[in-house]
A and B are shown apart, each in its own frame.
Chain A
């Protein structure tokens, strides 16, 4: 199976430098930020690796995992990390962060999919910076492919994927014929969430995303990473979304201590008005 995984980098919330917004509110000040892969995209990469291996022999890749990101040169760090984790090769679509929106990314991805011809396109259900939740859906529409969003489980079948989606009141299961677009939710990295046809059903994965092994980190330097011009994939670079202003959320007020339960209840009733 050949899988294309779309990865976006986002500001790392674990880093001391936080996102800053200048007084003008025109745009986000990204100076000094450290970056990490969007967690849901990391989960998509983990799912792609599980789908292209026998879980008992994770060092052998059965199929191909190609990772793609949109951004300036420094986003190659994110791609190298993905290669170290197990992806076979990487594509960077050269672009400027503030000249992209979900529609443009989906159109460019469509052109890339037509060139690469993957069986599956996997990505996170959304990126944790913009929280737009659009690219997967738009891409499936443009390609006219089957789509499963918010995947919590994936089981490979011959020519199809059985995708479990957590919905209100239960799990909805979809069978999507390949090729297809699948976006993943956080439970996709649970120990028994993803099975390729090669992985025995008794196998349990470690919880979460795998770390890159040191030898693989070094070998990743030699894996292919190519740069593609955005214009070659999407000649029309007009954006449909324009941002008119940014503002920080209001600062949280300090908490208070209550003496007893009755004071708590009274405050919840009369001040917070939640009871």
Chain B
């Protein structure tokens, strides 16, 4: 355990309940990292506040003692934004999961930051409403973490990022001061919108303790289709067709047979198609006129846009198809060590970018297993380079670090983003300059300096 300043533990013991702070080694290991497994977790302690007031008093203490802190949600992040590897105090919001009554008229709900995404969905579904922030880790991820990372997910094509669905925030600054930003107002044009600064700030500016979430009506019935297409160009060609199809798209996901093979290795799979295909597309749409949908599908087959496919006949089949896509991240980590990249490109440039990406792969990773999937409808690609079994972890990380520069040069050339939805955290910090200018990064630092002059909020992350 890393030493904290003398007197800190005594002060905590004096001012907080007995179970407020844990130094149990298993807690330190659990709360010290997210889904990335690159850094060894080494926090000094884990604080588990129950109220905003406790968070505020803890931060006053941390400011007084100059103790660095790492805010922590469901720890499902993929950029090491919630990693505490340098003796920080982790502030976990997991005990703060109260959800207030749903405001049906305003379609909003106020929740504490530790509320789990899926529990929020359940809480508001009774009123025919949803908070349309949805991704594979919804069973663990928390509202505060979602907001702090401006999380994306599988429904972005329909609903946008988390940012679109946050009306108000309660935030505790490093000084311990509590700010209420935005309230429950849809319209609030009163100067610079400070709430937006905290959305996606990855815990570097303050701790989000409560949020007023904007809700929308639950979608009607959905149709889930899975298609086989021959190659990445085929994925894009089908997307063009889907964009003009007779329905509203709620998800357009693609993945490769290499991803499927990993899912098969990790869990039992109900095969959706009679034969494997190099590329798959999962299309979810708000249920259309059956005749119009069928005419659309028929024309895809006639013109050879797709080679095979299926349409879920009931909710169980829809869930089975989604399980293939949502099982990928977990299966890659469970069966090997993936190096993850999460890049975004302007959609019209995807084809050109991908053609060039192939040559990067060939030069940098000859013969390696690369598992490609993503939310192609948002221009978002998840590139997972799998560690060859025989290679040492350190050699693998060095190799991927070097290759990332090559890939990110390409991303910059096409005016893409080096982190579409995972954030920057520790993992992508060295590459921020590929997507943001020097002046932009200076402005970020100035904002950080204004809000956290001692630099105790998630130090070392993002910039």
Chain A interface residues (CB < 8 Å from chain B):
12, 14-16, 34-37, 58, 81, 84, 206-215, 217-218, 221
Contacts and interface: CB of A to CB of B under 8 A. Distances in A.
B270 A206 contact: yes
Contacts of A211: 226, 270-273, 310, 312-313, 317
A12 B125 contact: no
B308 A214 contact: yes
9 smallest beta-carbon distances between A and B, as pairs? A206-B271, A14-B315, A36-B314, A214-B309, A208-B270, A81-B313, A211-B310, A14-B316, A15-B315
A211 B310 CA distance: 7
Given A34-B315, A81-B314, A214-B309, A209 B301 contact: no
A208 B271 contact: yes
B297 A214 contact: yes
B319 A14 contact: yes
Overall SS of chain B's interface: mixed
A35 B221 CA distance: 13
Interface residues of B, number: 28
B310 A214 contact: yes
Contacts of A215: 301
B298 A218 contact: yes
A191 B319 CA distance: 21
B313 A212 contact: yes
A36 B310 contact: no
Contacts of A58: 274
Given A206-B271, A207-B271, A208-B270, A12 B311 contact: no
B223 to A, nearest CB: 11
A206 B308 CA distance: 17
Interface in B407-445: none
Contact of B301 (A36, A212, A214): A214
Contacts of B226: 211
Interface string B266-290: 0011111110000000000000000
Nearest to A37: B314
B294 interface: yes
A210 B314 CA distance: 13
Nearest to B297: A214
Contacts of A36: 313-316
Given A81-B313, A208-B270, A221-B294, 19 more contacts: A16-B125, A34-B314, A35-B314, A84-B313, A206-B271, A207-B270, A210-B274, A211-B271, A211-B272, A211-B273, A211-B317, A212-B313, A214-B225, A214-B227, A214-B297, A214-B306, A214-B308, A218-B294, A218-B298
B97 to A, nearest CB: 15
Contacts of A213: 273-274, 308-310
Interface in B292-330: 294, 297-298, 301, 306, 308-319
A84 B309 CA distance: 13
Interface string B62-80: 0000000000000000000
Contacts of A34: 314-315
Interface in B182-211: none
Given A206-B271, A207-B268, A212 B315 contact: no
Nearest to A9: B314
Contacts of A207: 268-271
A190 B271 CA distance: 12
Contact of B311 (A16, A37, A214, A221): A214
Given A12-B315, A81-B314, A212-B311, A218 B271 contact: no
Contacts of B316: 12, 14, 36
A214 B318 CA distance: 14
Q: Which of B225, B294, B310 has the most CB of A within 10 A?
A: B310
Nearest to B221: A34
Contacts of A214: 225, 227, 297, 301, 306, 308-311
Contacts of A15: 315
Contacts of B271: 206-208, 210-211
A71 to B, nearest CB: 15
Contacts of B268: 207
5 contacts: A58-B274, A213-B310, A214-B310, A217-B311, A218-B297
A12 B221 CA distance: 14
A36 B315 CA distance: 8
Q: Looking at A12, A36, A213, A215, which has the most chain B CB atoms within 10 Å of its CB?
A: A213
Interface string B48-92: 000000000000000000000000000000000000000000000
A37 B314 CA distance: 9
B22 to A, nearest CB: 15
Contacts of A16: 125
B294 to A, nearest CB: 6
Contacts of A209: 270
Nearest to A14: B315
Nearest to A215: B301
Contacts of B314: 12, 14, 34-37, 81
A222 to B, nearest CB: 12
A36 B309 CA distance: 20
